C-alpha cells in the first residue's frame, strides 16, 4: 500500500508470463487504459531520471493521441500496410526491456537473468524503487502503475516492493510456446543451447540440460517448465491471489477476455481500450504455426516437449 507521498503506487498491476505466451498482445491492449502509466522506450534509454516521463503528456493528451499497433501483436484494420512506421521510434511507447531495471535494482540483483527465488528487496532498494516509480506515474499524468515482466516471475522480490500488487499470470500451451521461442532471434542467440536464467535449477536439471543442449526444442522445453514451476512455487509460498489466464481463451474472444482481466485489475471501463480492440486483428498464432511449413514440428518432438513439461502442459 502506498505511504506518505506515494499515492500513485496503490495496487500496481504486474503482468507476468513465460515469454512468447501472449503477454505482449494482452498488455499492449491494457496499456491503452487512460489511468495507467508504464515503462517506456525513452525510460529504457534514459534510465537515471524519471523526468523523461514528462514526454508522455506532450505526445499523448486530450488534443492528440498517437496509437501504435505493434507488429507482433496485431495489425490495425485501418493501417494494414503501415502497421509500424518510423515515427514509432520517437513516440513515447511501452516497452519491456531491462536496462532500466538493472539500473534501478542495483548491482546486488541480477534482475534480467536471475530467478530471484527467496530474494527480497532491501529497505534501501524498496525506498529507491518506489520513489522513482511513483514519480514515473505522476509525470506521465496517470493514476496507477502497470508493469510487465517475462521469464522468471520474480514475485518474492517484486511483492516485497509492492505488497499490494495486482498480479496477472499469462499461460500458453507449451508446444506452441516452445515453437515460438525457437523462432525469435533473442532465443537463438541466448537460450537455444544453454540454460539462460539462473538461480533455480537443481544439479540434476543442470546435468540433464547438458545432455540435451544440442536439441533446441528440448532444452527450451526444460526452461519453460522451470519458469512455470518456479512461478507456482512463489505463488504458493507467498499465498498470492493471482489471476491466471490463457492465451487460447484470449484469441477466442479478445474483448470479453480483456474486460474480465480489467475487472480483476480493478480498472474502470475504457474507451481507449475498446477502440484499440476494435481496430486490431487478433490471430490465433497456435493455429498459424501449426499450419506453417516453416514452423512445423515433428510429432515425436511435440511428445518429447510434453513429456518434459509434464504438469505444466
Percent of the chain residues topping a pLDDT of 90: 77
Confidence (pLDDT) at 81: 42
Q: Are strands 144-150 and 13-17 parallel, antiparallel or unpaired?
A: parallel
The distance from CA 149 to its chain's CA centroid, rounded to whole angstroms, is: 4
Q: What is the mean pLDDT of residues 283-294?
A: 64
Confidence (pLDDT) at 68: 61
Which pLDDT band holds residue 210 (cuts at 50, 70, 90)? very high
Q: Which of 79-88, 124-133, 265-274 has the lowest mean pLDDT?
A: 79-88
How much helix, strand and coil, in percent to the nearest 5, is found in the chain? 50, 10, 40
pLDDT in tens, 113-145: 999 999 999 999 999 999 999 999 999 999 999
Which pLDDT band holds residue 87 (cuts at 50, 70, 90)? low
Confidence (pLDDT) at 291: 53
pLDDT at 218 over 60: yes
Confidence (pLDDT) at 64: 72
pLDDT at 293 over 60: no
Per DSSP, what are the bridge partners of residue 125? Answer: none
pLDDT at 38 over 70: yes
Helix (H, G, I), strand (E, B) or coil at 39: coil
Q: Which helix (H) or strand (E) holds 187?
A: helix 185-190
CA distances from 44 to 67, 95, 136, 290 (A): 19, 8, 12, 35
Average of per-residue pLDDT values in the chain: 90
CA distances from 200 to 151, 236, 300 (A): 12, 16, 28
Q: What is the mean pLDDT of residues 60-86?
A: 57
Phi and psi, residue 292, nearest 5°: -85, 130
The answer to whether residues 209 and 219 touch, using CB atoms and an 8 Å cutoff, is yes
pLDDT in tens, 41-72: 999 999 999 999 999 998 887 767 766 655 44
> What DSSP string describes 113-142?
TB--TT----HHHHHHHHHHHHHHHHHHT-
Q: Which residue has the higher pLDDT, 72 or 301?
A: 301
57 Cβ partners below 8 Å, 6+ apart? Answer: 140, 141
Neighbours of 309 (CB within 10 A): 21
List the grid coordinates of 177. Answer: 510456446
Q: Which of 157-161, 202-206, 275-279 has the lowest mean pLDDT?
A: 275-279
Neighbours of 124 (CB within 10 A): 10
Q: What is the mean pLDDT of residues 283-305?
A: 77
Confidence (pLDDT) at 294: 59
Which pLDDT band holds residue 80 (cuts at 50, 70, 90)? very low
Q: Which residue has the higher pLDDT, 219 or 88?
A: 219
Amino acid at each position: 500500500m502506498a505511504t506518505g507521498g506515494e499515492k500513485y503506487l496503490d495496487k500496481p498491476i504486474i503482468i507476468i508470463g513465460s515469454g512468447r505466451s501472449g503477454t505482449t498482445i494482452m498488455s499492449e491492449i491494457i496499456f491503452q487504459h487512460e489511468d495507467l502509466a508504464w515503462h517506456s522506450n525513452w525510460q529504457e534509454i534514459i534510465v537515471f531520471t524519471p523526468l523523461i516521463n514528462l514526454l508522455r503528456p506532450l505526445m499523448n493528451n486530450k488534443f492528440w493521441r498517437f496509437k501504435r499497433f505493434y507488429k507482433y501483436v496485431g495489425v490495425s484494420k485501418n493501417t494494414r500496410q503501415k502497421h509500424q512506421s518510423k515515427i514509432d521510434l520517437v513516440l513515447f511507447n511501452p516497452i519491456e526491456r531491462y536496462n532500466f531495471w538493472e539500473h534501478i535494482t542495483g548491482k546486488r540483483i541480477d534482475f534480467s537473468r536471475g530467478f530471484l527465488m527467496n530474494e527480497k528487496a532491501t529497505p534501501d532498494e524498496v525506498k529507491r524503487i518506489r520513489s522513482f516509480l511513483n514519480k514515473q506515474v505522476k509525470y506521465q499524468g496517470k493514476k496507477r502503475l502497470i508493469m510487465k515482466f517475462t521469464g522468471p516471475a520474480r514475485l518474492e522480490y517484486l511483492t516485497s516492493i509492492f505488497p499490494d500488487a495486482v498480479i496477472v499470470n499469462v499461460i500458453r500451451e507449451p508446444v506452441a510456446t516452445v515453437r515460438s521461442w525457437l523462432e525469435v532471434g533473442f532465443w537463438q542467440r541466448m537460450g537455444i543451447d544453454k540454460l539462460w536464467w539462473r538461480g533455480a535449477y537443481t544439479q540434476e536439471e543442470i546435468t540433464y540440460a547438458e545432455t540435451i543442449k544440442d536439441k533446441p526444442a528440448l532444452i527450451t522445453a526444460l526452461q519453460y517448465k522451470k519458469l512455470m514451476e518456479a512461478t507456482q512455487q512463489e505463488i504458493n509460498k507467498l499465498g498470492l491471489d493471482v489471476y491466471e489466464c490463457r492465451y487460447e481463451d484470449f484469441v477466442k474472444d479478445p474483448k470479453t477476455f480483456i474486460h474480465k482481466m480489467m475487472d480483476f485489475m480493478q480498472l474502470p471501463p475504457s474507451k481507449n481500450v475498446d477502440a484499440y480492440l476494435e481496430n486490431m486483428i487478433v490471430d490465433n498464432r497456435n493455429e498459424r504455426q501449426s499450419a506453417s511449413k516453416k514452423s512445423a514440428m515433428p510429432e515425436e518432438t511435440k511428445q518429447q516437449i510434453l513429456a518434459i513439461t509434464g504438469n505444466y502442459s
